[in-house]
Structure 1
């Protein structure tokens, strides 16, 4: 998923802005809204905070991220699909809605669309009588979750893609989904558009112009048929892409944007004082990939990692869209359910008790009808506001007794706009002591302290608020003990190190495939694993005995005997240094040959994209690979594309039939965005002894 660059928005949100005014009139009272404000549907969306993405389609059965469009519908055949199980998994994680990929880039439709044969009606699932969209929609209704849909604009199957006829086809499919599956809370338009594909047998590259879909008209079409459905990302939509798929927003992340072209940097942080309310949605997968792959079963994000993502997205005023990919059964895998359940439990424990309960609120200034006590009433419709002309107002909470907390939650009254630019928090410790200082509050600001502190008084100081604050909530919470799985690392010499995410943790591990417990070997120093193998480990908090979920890493042969036999540009040694932070940059197209030191049974390779790409350098997209025993006679093993490599940055795993080889040659034939330079971080091989 790679949302496109946006053109000027020039208040194409006219319908949005009009719908916002009645809500403002009802709630603003005697205060004038400041700057851009949310529409009714955007305001409802802000209240959701967390919801799930369900990537499920042909790719689930082909082990790919992006299908080419030539896949047979006969491949789609989940053996035990359960929409209710998917909903239950989402609810265990505290998610409030689900968005289903009704059609991904390969063009296969999970509903029996009457406009194409490339759909579930020609699959073995329920003898062609199935409808995954309906099943999940109805399960969400039963489970009390809202339902939304993703419909990929790019269709690598359709013969007319790139021509006007396809836009008519796309709108017809959109109408089917908007009118046949009940109320929708969101419609998600992916920005990955144009490129090579099957296209009805043409097998060619097709590009589209920025006005091909007529996005303003498409967004208006959604709002006409589903007035409360927010639309994601294109020109004129209700929501913007945050600019990454790694699960975090900028700090601050303003809900407003200006009228200029979209950039990933602006998507990350927004624009203070921007003329358009265009809040960010943070999308990330619970696994490295968006679709299910068995080889990622050990890489499910832990409850602690999900909690960190929550604080860095929802805690910065955005909403979090967490992907939950079903497996080939059509169920959320057990590993994912365990992580979701633990995360949901931790989040419920965090917010179970507001430690500001029973406090007394006093402010340096309070407007009539908007007393300081309103920040304590658990209502988003009431708020504390100041008299006109109040400079640097303050609000003090006096607790019934000294209490210990490590999270402070603040909210602004959104119908009045983003009024606070900067604030600070102080605690009383024989005198006031500053503990935090930030820019922006918005829908929600979660201030996560470095350590718990105990006090009977908390002070909010508004440092900059051009229109005066309208604060609807100040709450205090204590985080539960949550031990994250340890990191398992191996260097180029084959030495394994296990690292906890906090000091003082007890680390236990196994290398025989057994589940690690407190009785397992204790990690005290690095150990050798030169030929690869499996390491499992847990971290234990000694005082409480709380044990993390297990971490698992499978290593292949060490790289100390490898060398770069040939490369089209200098610096390729960075690809075999086991350092994600280093990278090889070369003119595109490029080629590199690995010498493994001796012949091995090769079954594939793994390319790791670079985290940082300098201007003018792009991620690799097209590739060819070959192996050799002597570096002279080469056997081609395949060619293809790295899907979604520019946005997700997840390692790209390519397998082929095992063969003996000492050398592996990788040619990068093109970059993801047509850049003239290519950059990536690591190149690994897959052997019989490894993955």
Structure 2
């Protein structure tokens, strides 16, 4: 009996040793701050769409003055299914509608103003564009978002405390009557000249304090706790600092927002690059229009972005770790114009062609360092096609390389890299080399990776590709490397 228990104790001791050894090879500690589940979902969408539609569509303006008559809003063939299907077919994941722009006209029959679709000829005042759009989005598997301009050039009380009550009442309508709202957009344009109920004057507000955003956002969270908030400063996602479709070549998802607010001047560069030591995870959203303007103008029918230009924008937005928010404005019929649809279809065809076949999928990879020499963090995790696995190095290794060997020589045009951002953003700089003419030759270098980084190369034929992390905030954690 004593011998039996001795064997049991030795066995347990051995098991404990094994467990102890396995516990030594733990996952890397997170590098704070981290994305929320809603932000992770936002990253994975990659492409969302904006819909700018209001009285401006009929007055040929970009910013309505607020004195437009409701009767001017008279689309004849509104088809929100056409919007949603076109977006779905092109690969977009969310549709964000301008429910109220700066002119103050509301695309839903708000109970708090007469300046809305309820007093327009559209469906004899019985129409509700917000309802139609949100229903179409769900029908085609898109998420729905709302834009409600904080600035209102129609309201007589804009700039006074009573306007905040009005604004919050309208948010309550949007967040309780139209199903789930994935993203809420707050524009940074605030204050200036306007109709203001007939005052016809300029009004300036303190953008840092007037809106009392913490109270407003808390009210919304009580209705829909997982909504993503966009403004210059976030807190969910931030403006990228321009409307050209370009994220910073260095693009940190982290930034400190304690001195930022919607409409603050002089922060464009910071918004474009973020900050490596930022205190909050607030990634950049790249908003850009398919046309020169944000609203439809017939004079711009020949100026719609080409499929090739949209693809270039994809590379400078999604390809730099951001999400693309592309605006497609309905025309006066209430339809996406044929030129816009054709361009979107061509854009989708280019994406399908250029990223049709990942040459690196299941390829053999070796690393200069593997975390604890553990199979859990092995180099092959970057080519296994599973976004939840990743290669990592030992904690003291912030420089390391991965060498991918292809089964057969192939021509490479794009290198796609992804960090496992559930553990934070880490990489500060890296290089890409290919094996050519008997030696390694550098073909690309960049700084940040984040959720996704796409590098476009001069096409080169090779059988081996090496990615070297030159600097990182902590041990690199790479979930995917793809070659096209």
**Global fold match (TM > 0.5):** yes
Q: Matched residues in 2 for 1:97 and 1:344: separation?
A: 16
- Corresponding residue for residue 48 of structure 1: 45
- Corresponding residue for residue 86 of structure 1: 83
How does 1:399-414 map onto structure 2 within 5 Å? 399-414=406-421
- Corresponding residue for residue 255 of structure 1: 253
Out of 171, 194, 201, the residue aligned to residue 191 of structure 2 is 194
Deviations 1:475-520 (A, max 9, x none): 011xxxxxxxxxxxxxxxxxxxxxxxxxxxxxxxxxxxxxxxxxxx
- Corresponding residue for residue 223 of structure 1: 221
The Cα shift of 1:176 comes to 0.7
User: Alpha carbons of 1:180 and 1:246: their partners in 2 closer, same or farther (altered >3 Å)?
Assistant: same
Moved more, 385-394 or 277-286: 385-394
Preserved CA contact (<8 Å) 1:35 1:417: yes
- Corresponding residue for residue 419 of structure 1: 426
The Cα shift of 1:220 comes to 2.5
Out of 343, 346, 350, the residue aligned to residue 346 of structure 1 is 350
Q: Matched residues in 2 for 1:416 and 1:270: separation?
A: 18
Secondary structure at the aligned position of 2:377 is classed as coil
The Cα shift of 1:259 comes to 4.7
Secondary structure at the aligned position of 1:453 is classed as strand
Q: Does 1:302 align with 2:299?
A: no
Q: Does 1:136 align with 2:133?
A: yes
Q: Does 1:436 align with 2:444?
A: yes
Q: Give aligned pairs, total.
A: 449
Q: State the Cα RMSD in Å.
A: 1.4
The Cα shift of 1:160 comes to 0.9
Q: Matched residues in 2 for 1:388 and 1:251: separation?
A: 27
Q: Matched residues in 2 for 1:96 and 1:259: separation?
A: 27
The Cα shift of 1:104 comes to 0.5
Preserved CA contact (<8 Å) 1:216 1:235: no
Secondary structure at the aligned position of 1:118 is classed as coil
Preserved CA contact (<8 Å) 2:96 2:147: yes
Preserved CA contact (<8 Å) 1:423 1:461: yes
Q: Matched residues in 2 for 1:270 and 1:465: separation?
A: 16
Moved more, 344-353 or 63-72: 344-353
- Corresponding residue for residue 100 of structure 1: 97
Secondary structure at the aligned position of 2:365 is classed as strand
User: Alpha carbons of 1:163 and 1:40: their partners in 2 closer, same or farther (altered >3 Å)?
Assistant: same
Q: Matched residues in 2 for 1:43 and 1:125: separation?
A: 39
Q: Matched residues in 1 for 2:444 and 2:421: separation?
A: 23
- Corresponding residue for residue 394 of structure 1: 401
Secondary structure at the aligned position of 1:380 is classed as coil
User: Alpha carbons of 1:260 and 1:217: their partners in 2 closer, same or farther (altered >3 Å)?
Assistant: closer
The Cα shift of 1:351 comes to 1.9
Out of 286, 289, 296, the residue aligned to residue 293 of structure 2 is 289
Secondary structure at the aligned position of 1:437 is classed as strand
- Corresponding residue for residue 264 of structure 2: none
- Corresponding residue for residue 233 of structure 1: 231
Q: Matched residues in 2 for 1:40 and 1:364: separation?
A: 32
Q: Matched residues in 2 for 1:259 and 1:88: separation?
A: 37
The Cα shift of 1:236 comes to 5.3
Q: Does 1:214 align with 2:212?
A: yes
More helix by proportion, 1 or 2? Answer: 2
Q: Matched residues in 2 for 1:161 and 1:181: separation?
A: 26
Q: Matched residues in 2 for 1:392 and 1:190: separation?
A: 41
Q: Which has the higher contact order (CA 8 A, sep 6+)?
A: 2
The Cα shift of 1:97 comes to 1.2
Preserved CA contact (<8 Å) 1:358 1:400: no
The Cα shift of 1:228 comes to 2.2
The Cα shift of 1:29 comes to 6.0
- Corresponding residue for residue 371 of structure 1: 378
- Corresponding residue for residue 8 of structure 2: none
User: Alpha carbons of 1:235 and 1:444: their partners in 2 closer, same or farther (altered >3 Å)?
Assistant: closer
Q: Does 1:34 align with 2:34?
A: no
The Cα shift of 1:418 comes to 1.1
Q: Does 1:243 align with 2:241?
A: yes
Q: Matched residues in 2 for 1:227 and 1:267: separation?
A: 25
> Normalising by the residue count of structure 1, what TM-score does the alignment of the two structures yield?
0.64
Q: Matched residues in 2 for 1:466 and 1:55: separation?
A: 40
Secondary structure at the aligned position of 1:352 is classed as coil
- Corresponding residue for residue 588 of structure 1: none
Deviations 1:509-565 (A, max 9, x none): xxxxxxxxxxxxxxxxxxxxxxxxxxxxxxxxxxxxxxxxxxxxxxxxxxxxxxxxx
Moved more, 231-240 or 316-325: 231-240
Q: Matched residues in 2 for 1:150 and 1:423: separation?
A: 38
Q: Matched residues in 1 for 2:450 and 2:294: separation?
A: 29
Structure 2 stretches of 5 or more lacking a match? 1-24, 261-266
Preserved CA contact (<8 Å) 1:255 1:270: yes
Q: Matched residues in 1 for 2:175 and 2:26: separation?
A: 36
- Corresponding residue for residue 156 of structure 2: 159
Moved more, 261-270 or 402-411: 261-270
Preserved CA contact (<8 Å) 2:361 2:384: no
Q: Matched residues in 2 for 1:49 and 1:218: separation?
A: 27
- Corresponding residue for residue 332 of structure 1: 336
- Corresponding residue for residue 150 of structure 1: 147
Secondary structure at the aligned position of 1:52 is classed as strand
Q: Matched residues in 2 for 1:220 and 1:118: separation?
A: 27
Secondary structure at the aligned position of 1:47 is classed as helix
Q: Does 1:381 align with 2:388?
A: yes
Preserved CA contact (<8 Å) 1:316 1:444: yes
Deviations 1:109-145 (A, max 9, x none): 0001111111111111111110000101010111111
